[in-house]
Amino acid sequence: MENPKGAEEKILLAHGSGGQTSHHLVNGLFLRHFANAWLDQLDDAAVLPLPAVGAAGRLAFTTDSYVVQPLFFPGGDIGKLAVCGTVNDLSMMGARPLYLSAGFIIEEGFLLSDLERIVRSMAGTAQATGVHIVTGDTKVVERGKADGVFINTAGLGEIPPGIHLSGSAVRPGDVLILSGSIGDHGMAVMSQREGLRFASALESDCAPLNGLVAAMLEASPDIHCLRDPTRGGLATTLNEIAGSSKVGLEIWEDEIPVRSEVRGACELLGLDPLYVANEGKLVAAVPPEQAGAVLSAMHRHEHGREARIVGQATTDHPGRLVLKTTLGTRRIVNMLTGEQLPRIC
């Protein structure tokens, strides 16, 4: 994407005009990487078939904007995050992700080569995940009125019959299964931002979880709740579930995997891994008699190899999350208050 004079091409306000320069960007970049029969029409909206959803079918629909800083970090970038994050939100409702939209807000002067790197990352992640980016939009704002690029994705998926997952469906006795270590994404981004040298081993866990979820639901369609603990971390997500389901939740500190380099970075920055964002992990609430089958299915999947039971739902302290510490004491863990990690996703 370098021009003949050697200076790198930059995004201009005209790239957001809707006119000829916009068309060049759409045709030369977005269509080239995202190409599919629906997007290629370039109509005002994509016209989509719904393969399996019948008259009684249900759709899952979600959206997230991504403002992560820096845009590129160990283990991922804003493009991969924008696809995985929305795919994962659909997956947490048990939906098979089908279609994504992509809305770009770009700061004037942004390097076209960086935009292409991001778009290529989105396209590769979408392809690996089996979703199609079928509609989009590009806006450009003046230099200093944004921060490089912001990306919004909205996602559509279809929910198979018999699947009814919800944050309000957890019952006392349900077992809490966590798919792997916590805090990897947040600390990878933070270490990059703060320039922590020792933290070279930190890497974001950013990954699409639709395959793992499909395997889990095949093992047990009766899973009560799935959530990906992103902003606010595992503690905030479990507080939300406890509140919505009106049950108590207890988690066991000894059982919650935290990589040693994540723990070290957290200690240095004064953060609690329970509140740090993840982008490739999920927590499931499963009827106890099915925990074994679900765990086995998870262990066979690349994103669930370290899955383990980390707690349980109880009739005690409804609406509250309690941590049983390594020392054997119990303490209430609240939802995140304030903001400890701005622009982590």
Residues 152-191 that bind its own copies (CB under 8 A): 152, 154-157, 159, 165-168
Pairing between strand 58-66 and 308-314? unpaired
- Cβ within 8 Å of residue 110, ≥6 positions away: 10, 11, 148, 149
Q: Give min distance, CB of 52 to its own copies, in A.
A: 9
95-106: string of b/e by CB count within 10 Å (b at 16+)? bbbbbbbbbbbb
Closer Cβ to its own copies, 57 or 288, answer by number: 57
Closer Cβ to its own copies, 6 or 338, answer by number: 338
Binding its own copies (rule: CB under 8 A), the pick from 2, 8, 41, 255 is 41
Let me know: does 232 contact 156? Beta carbons within 8 Å.
no
φ, ψ dihedrals at 225, nearest 5°: -155, 140
Which among 179, 181, 135, 180 is positioned nearest to 156, based on CA atoms?
Answer: 135
Taking contact as CB under 8 A, which single stretch among the options 93-101, 173-181, 197-205, 260-268 is the one that binds its own copies? 93-101
Which among 206, 177, 187, 176 is positioned nearest to 87, based on CA atoms?
Answer: 206
Taking contact as CB under 8 A, which single stretch among the options 28-36, 128-136, 173-181, 264-272 is the one that binds its own copies? 128-136
The count of residues interacting with its own copies (CB under 8 A) is 90
Let me know: does 249 contact 333? Beta carbons within 8 Å.
no
Taking contact as CB under 8 A, which single stretch among the options 121-129, 131-139, 180-188, 313-321 is the one that binds its own copies? 131-139
Q: Which of residues 95-124 bind its own copies (CB under 8 A)?
A: 95, 99, 101-105
Closer Cβ to its own copies, 25 or 261, answer by number: 25
The yes or no reply on residue 140 touching its own copies (CB under 8 A) is yes
Closer Cβ to its own copies, 58 or 301, answer by number: 58
> Tokens at residue 262, please?
């994540």
Q: Which of residues 51-90 bind its own copies (CB under 8 A)?
A: 53-55, 57-67, 88-90
Closer Cβ to its own copies, 160 or 292, answer by number: 160
Q: Which of residues 191-250 bind its own copies (CB under 8 A)?
A: 227-228, 230-232, 236, 240, 244
Q: Which of residues 265-324 bind its own copies (CB under 8 A)?
A: 275, 277
Q: Between 78-91 and 112-129, two packed helices, what is the crossing angle to 10 degrees?
A: 30
The yes or no reply on residue 10 touching its own copies (CB under 8 A) is no
| Residue entry with tokens 């400890």 | 340
φ, ψ dihedrals at 46, nearest 5°: -80, 140
Q: Give min distance, CB of 126 to its own copies, in A.
A: 15
Rounded Cα gap, residues 45 and 227, in angstroms: 30
| Residue entry with tokens 């099915």 | 290
Binding its own copies (rule: CB under 8 A), the pick from 136, 180, 183, 311 is 136
The yes or no reply on residue 263 touching its own copies (CB under 8 A) is no
